[in-house]
């Protein structure tokens, strides 16, 4: 039995933040009914066609869901949503600002009929304040949250290679919904959760935020290097391989000088006798490290680092991640169905004894129309009329 078996989640979602939150609820056994626009669906379905004709974002964030197409602006859609939400445990929405209120999809509007309903709203900036009506996309929130000011090279800011603001918001939506379900179990009442992408990413920015406390200079952009700890980042070996390594304390610095650099004299060099000094003199130390690695292959550098107990990593690309031996050794890959056939999918992180995460197919647009509506009490003739009338 899954921890969320028997719970129903209705979601009016698109892109990443909402879908990622609800997919994780589905992983734990919840029934997730994804309400999509007829003929178009979640616009993330068309972001690309890299997965056997399906979009990479969509297949990642939408497995194990049921797709119901519904023209929410059609008068008859109100009745369908009313029936859906009467038996739902959670409503999730990340529509454009103000859209949920216009549709009556708020806890205040729905709680009389379903006081246990948990309504989770995901937006760019929250339901009030001067920015509440602004549209928000991931890159724009990265800019607003200061993420771009600390990411990139000294010469140029760079966005995250993943939709980090969306993912942060999705994770906080997921964890807040789980907390609200626990509270409902104690009180019997649902309520409203408001998740802001800005607030989610601002939480993740708290280290550089505190580093710049009381007007102090913020961390500089350092490329793939750590902005304040050194040496911590990528270094080239003599064969062109790039090795990522990180030192965290003075004990590791001593071992690094003796066993990796094989130059214990560095321990008495006043330029490098603390992390702060090593960071101040990183150019000189980088030159020494590159010179020490010049006669070694990447494999030999990693062997020295491993022998010294210094943390290190390979600079993998996506092919390297697909082929990662640790993921294979831990049997993390599964196959899930999709409109294009079976596709590989990673098990979600974590888990616990006695439960295997749900790994059901990625739905085609409107695939579950009949099944969802029949369960709500609609007959075949009524469903056919709704299809003909543009409701579905």
pLDDT of residue 351: 83
pLDDT of residue 133: 92
Single out the catalytic residue among 14, 74, 226, 368: 226
How open is the CA angle 230-236-241, to the nearest 5 degrees? 135
Q: Name the residue with tokens 């996309």.
A: 137
* Distance of alpha carbon 309 from alpha carbon 301, whole angstroms: 12
How open is the CA angle 358-363-8, to the nearest 5 degrees? 55
Q: Tokens at residue 297, please?
A: 């292959």
Residues of the chain with pLDDT under 50: none
pLDDT, tens digit, 9 for 90 and up, residues 139-191: 999 999 999 999 999 999 999 999 999 999 999 999 999 999 999 999 999 99
DSSP for 50-118?
A: TBTTB-HHHHHH-TTEEEEE--TTSTTHHHHHHHHHHS-SEEEE--STTHHHHTT-SHHHHTTT-TT-E
pLDDT of residue 353: 85
- The domains of the chain, with CATH numbers, are 8-205+327-388 (3.40.50.10540), 232-315 (3.30.1540.10)
* Distance of alpha carbon 87 from alpha carbon 6, whole angstroms: 11
Q: Which residues contact 359 (CB under 8 A, 6 or more apart)?
A: 27, 63, 64, 334, 336, 345, 347
pLDDT of residue 12: 98
**Considering just the CA atoms, what is the radius of gyration of the chain in Å?**
26
Burial profile 289-323: b = 16 or more Cβ within 10 angstroms, e = fewer: beebbeebebebbbebbeebebebeeeeeeeeeee
Residue 324 annotated as catalytic: no
CB-facing half-sphere around the CA of 242: CA atoms within 13 A: 9
Q: Where is 299: in which H helix or E strand?
A: helix 298-308
* Distance of alpha carbon 228 from alpha carbon 221, whole angstroms: 10
Q: Which residues contact 129 (CB under 8 A, 6 or more apart)?
A: none
pLDDT of residue 354: 85
Decide: helix, strand or coil at residue 314. strand
Cα torsion 75, 9, 112, 194 to 10°: value is: -100
Decide: helix, strand or coil at residue 36. strand
* Distance of alpha carbon 163 from alpha carbon 173, whole angstroms: 15
- Expressed in percent and rounded to 5, the helix, strand and coil fractions of the chain are 40, 15, 45
């Amino acid at each position: 039995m899954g921890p969320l078996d028997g719970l129903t989640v209705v979601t009016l979602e698109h892109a990443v933040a909402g879908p990622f939150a609800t997919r994780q609820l589905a992983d734990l056994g919840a029934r997730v009914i994804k309400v999509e626009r007829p003929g178009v669906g979640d616009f993330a379905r068309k972001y690309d066609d890299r997965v056997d004709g399906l979009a990479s974002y969509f297949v990642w964030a939408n497995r194990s869901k049921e797709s119901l197409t519904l023209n929410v602006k059609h008068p008859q859609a109100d009745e369908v949503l009313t029936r859906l939400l009467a038996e739902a445990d959670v409503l999730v929405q990340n529509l454009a600002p103000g859209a949920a209120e216009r549709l009556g999809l708020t806890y205040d509007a729905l709680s009389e009929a379903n006081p246990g309903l948990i309504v989770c709203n995901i937006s760019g900036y929250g339901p009030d304040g001067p920015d509440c009506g602004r549209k928000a996309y991931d890159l724009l929130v990265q800019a607003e949250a200061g993420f771009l000011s600390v990411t990139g090279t000294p010469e140029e800011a760079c966005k995250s290679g993943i939709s980090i603001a969306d993912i942060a918001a999705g994770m906080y939506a997921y964890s807040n919904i789980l907390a609200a379900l626990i509270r409902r179990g104690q009180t019997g009442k649902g309520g409203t959760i408001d998740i802001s992408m800005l607030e989610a990413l601002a939480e993740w920015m708290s280290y550089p935020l505190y580093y710049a406390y009381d007007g102090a200079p913020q961390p500089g952009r350092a490329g793939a290097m750590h902005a304040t700890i050194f040496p911590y980042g990528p270094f080239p070996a003599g064969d062109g391989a790039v090795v990522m390594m990180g030192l965290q304390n003075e004990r590791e610095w001593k071992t690094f000088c003796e066993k990796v650099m094989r130059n214990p004299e560095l321990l008495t060099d006043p330029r490098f006798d603390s992390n702060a000094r090593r960071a101040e003199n990183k150019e000189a130390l980088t030159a020494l490290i590159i010179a020490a690695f010049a006669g070694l292959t990447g494999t030999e550098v990693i062997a020295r680092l491993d022998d010294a107990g210094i943390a290190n990593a390979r600079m993998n690309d996506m092919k390297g991640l697909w082929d990662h031996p640790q993921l294979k050794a831990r049997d993390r890959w599964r196959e899930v169905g999709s409109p294009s056939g079976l596709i590989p999918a990673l098990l979600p992180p974590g888990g616990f004894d006695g439960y295997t995460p749900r790994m059901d197919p990625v739905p085609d647009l409107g695939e579950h129309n009949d099944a969802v509506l029949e369960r709500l009490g609609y007959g075949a003739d009524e469903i056919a009329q709704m299809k003909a009338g543009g409701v579905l």
